[in-house]
Amino acid sequence: MRAAIDGNWPRAETWLERIVEANSKNIDAYLALARLYRNHGAIGRAIRMHQNLLLRSELNRSERAEALLELGRDFEEGGFHSRAAATFEELLGLDSGNAEILERLISLLLALGEFSRGLSLVKRLRRRNREAGDRLEVALLLAQSDAQIESGDHDGARRSIKRCLRRNKSCGRAWLRLGELEAERGKTNRALEAWKHGAETDQEAAAEIYPKLAATFAAKDKAEAFDAFLLKLLDRRPEDHSARIALARVRRSRGDSASAIEELARAVEITPEELSLRSELGRQLIAAGQDSEALKAYAGLLELIDRLSSPLNDIDEEVGH
């Protein structure tokens, strides 16, 4: 214990090995040593120790459950997802209501593409951890819809996405996919509404949605309507830099470069450390033929990148505190 507190892991490992050699029935030491192996990358040794431990007939129910849990973690850490899932499945037979086991198993099934099995377990997880259950159900349904789209099952994908949105109406990725599906079958207005809803409810996903909105509004010859949509959004969400850039681009597309540059320059003054705004300002200045101003903008951008990435910046902050 003293060696572990001191961070002397080789010495802690040596002492644990001596304890196990002296008394192989010391289950706690056995589990601690195997976990230490796993934490330091010796996954194979950890797996063998836990498998050997599980061969013992004297283990009680709780000891067997703990050894199985650790073995599942070994497999998961080593990237053996199928074996990890099988181990957690076995563990559920001993502890069917364990939220951690359910969450780990569902996450593995998601990685393995076993969406139906994962969704069947989500209800059990939600009864014990609603937040984790909702999050994993949304992730499963989105991944399932992507697989369905890839296989050409667009009707199935639409059902998965709508089910996802019933669980989380603010899931931008789901609105993005729904808009794409509607656009593919020629339902432009429905696609537009889906993308607008996604941009309004999920700022993180909005950056990927704005280009689709811009193209759709432009195709309908309604660039000014997109401008108005973005202004309304920015009034509520002024920190949305992606929306600010989209606004500048739509203004430039309709020939109003001066307004686009002014919008970006004002945003850079307000948030001078936002790299994306400075980068876009430089692009807009070059497109407008203002090369000298563009050079100044890019010089400021490079200075900011250098300052943010310099280790001396961290030292200055520590000294300041």
Residue ranges covered by each domain of the chain: 1-95, 239-321
Q: Hey, do 1-95 and 239-321 end up sharing a CATH topology, with the first three levels equal?
A: yes
Report the pLDDT averaged over residues 247-251: 93
User: Is it the case that residue 275 has pLDDT exceeding 70?
Assistant: yes
User: Is it the case that residue 314 has pLDDT exceeding 60?
Assistant: no
Which band of pLDDT confidence, cut at 50, 70 and 90, is reported for residue 319?
A: very low
Report the pLDDT averaged over residues 18-47: 79
For residue 82, what are its two tokens? 């199928």
Fold classification of 1-95 (topology level): 1.25.40
Q: Choose from 25-34, 92-101, 174-183 the range with maximum mean pLDDT.
A: 174-183
pLDDT tens digits, 189-218: 999 999 999 999 999 999 999 999 999 999
Provide CATH code, domain 239-321: 1.25.40.10
| Distance in angstroms (rounded) separating the CA atoms of residues 156 and 178 | 12
User: Measuring CA to CA, how many Å separate 87 from each of 27, 29, 82, 91?
Assistant: 20, 22, 9, 6
pLDDT of residue 321: 47
The dihedral sign for the CA sequence 201, 203, 205, 211: positive
User: pTM to 2 decimals?
Assistant: 0.78
Buried b (16+ CB within 10 A) or exposed e, 106-129: bbbbbbeebbebbbebbeebbeee
Contacts of 182 (CB under 8 A, 6+ apart): 188, 190, 191, 194
User: Is it the case that residue 2 has pLDDT exceeding 90?
Assistant: no
pLDDT tens digits, 105-163: 999 999 999 999 999 999 899 999 999 999 999 999 999 999 999 999 999 999 999 99
User: Is it the case that residue 318 has pLDDT exceeding 60?
Assistant: no
| Distance in angstroms (rounded) separating the CA atoms of residues 225 and 34 | 62
| Distance in angstroms (rounded) separating the CA atoms of residues 144 and 157 | 7
| Closest by CA position to 250, among listed 275, 280, 278, 274 | 280
pLDDT of residue 10: 73
- Distance from the first to the final alpha carbon of the chain: 34
Which band of pLDDT confidence, cut at 50, 70 and 90, is reported for residue 63?
A: confident
| pLDDT cut 90: percent of the chain above it | 62
Report the pLDDT averaged over residues 81-99: 89
Give the mean pLDDT of the chain: 88
Between these two residues, 99 and 30, which has the higher pLDDT value? Answer: 99
